Amino acid sequence: MLSVFIMPGLIVELTLGGFLTVLAIVGIVGAAAGSFFYSFRSQKATVKADAVHEWSEVASALEKKIGLAEEEIASLKMKDAQCQMKVNNITAFNLRLQAREVRYQRRINVLERMAGVDVTDFNDVTDAPEDSAFR
Amino acid sequence: MMSLTRPKILLLDDDELTLDFLKSAFASMPFDATFTATGIDALVKIFEAYRSGEPFTALILDCALPHFDGFTIARIVRIAEKTGISPRARIGYFTAFAKTVDQSTLLEEVGAEAYWHKPEDSTNLPQLIALWLQ
């Protein structure tokens, strides 16, 4: 007979066969729990690795997308600068034409006065004749 | 000792009346002002000033001129400055075509710092320029 100490105040007396049976049961239960814990842990690690892999794929796809968008922005900025340069050249050209127009208008007014005909008011666009009275 | 050097400025306007007004308005101002009526003449004066070693501190240009407009002159000046011929001149515009100019980025392109409206700012132009040059 073997006396097995379980906890203070609880001592169970077992035969050797009974003790070995209990030991075997405890061993089987422990092994089952260990195996369950191990498989749970490795499954968790696999899921985590899969998620990381998936996210890194998403991240690299996004990175490529951002790279393409940045290239597009750079190309658009260049096109915008070219357009702006054209607008500036047209504006400068327009200013030269307006200056010439004003000069012609003044010259026309001088000639109108010399010829004694009505002087055209080029600022009055509402009643302006199609062209000057001066011929 | 304080420097008694007066800022050397060039004023360009193709309108005779405006130019006469500017001449009389600037007579009492502390500027060494040069007046000119055409873009070509302005360029000649600017390059003569480079050659004499006394370039203009500031250029006050008319935008709308029949041949060399104020912006073409400024572009030429900026190219010349890049060669190191003179320090960067300050450029301002006195224009009746503010609306047209605002539709572009010409002011930024030539590095202009200011522009005044014609005729609204005519009376105060010398004072405004003096403030700008301070």
> Which residue from B14, B67, B103 is facing A91, i.e. has the nearest CB?
B103
Contacts of B14 in chain A (CB under 8 A): 99, 103
DSSP letter at B105? -
Q: State whether A95 and B14 contact (CB < 8 Å).
A: no
Cβ(B108)–Cβ(B8) below 8 Å: no
DSSP letter at B86? S
Distance, CA of A68 to CA of A18 (rounded, Å): 75
Q: How confident is the model at residue A20 (pLDDT cuts 50, 70, 90)?
A: confident
Range with top average pLDDT, A7-16, A37-46, B86-95: B86-95
Per-residue pLDDT of B74-100, as tens digits, reads 999 999 999 999 999 999 999 988 888
Distance, CA of A9 to CA of B19 (rounded, Å): 119
A87 touches chain B (CB under 8 A): yes
Per-residue pLDDT of A56-88, as tens digits, reads 999 999 999 999 999 999 999 999 999 999 999
In CATH, the architecture of B8-133 is 3-Layer(aba) Sandwich (3.40)
Domain ranges within chain B, ordered by starting residue: 8-133
Identify which of B27, B23, B24 has the alpha carbon closest to the alpha carbon of residue B35: B23
Please compute the mean of the pLDDT values over residues A21-40 and round it to a whole number: 89
Checking if the pLDDT of A135 tops 80, the result is no
Contacts of B70 in chain A (CB under 8 A): 95
pLDDT of A80 reads: 96
Q: What is the mean pLDDT of chain A?
A: 87
In DSSP notation, B27-84 reads HTSS-EEEEESSHHHHHHHHHHHHHHT---SEEEE-S--SSS-HHHHHHHHHHHHHTT
Checking if the pLDDT of B51 tops 90, the result is yes
pLDDT of B2 reads: 43
Q: What interface predicted TM-score (ipTM) does this complex get?
A: 0.82
pLDDT of A7 reads: 73
Closest-CA distance of chain B to residue A67, Å: 30
Checking if the pLDDT of A103 tops 50, the result is yes
Contacts of B109 in chain A (CB under 8 A): 85, 88
Domain ranges within chain A, ordered by starting residue: 2-102
Distance, CA of B1 to CA of B4 (rounded, Å): 9
Q: How far does chain B reach from its first CA to its final CA, in angstroms?
A: 18
Checking if the pLDDT of B1 tops 50, the result is no
What percent of chain A is modeled with pLDDT above 70?
Answer: 90
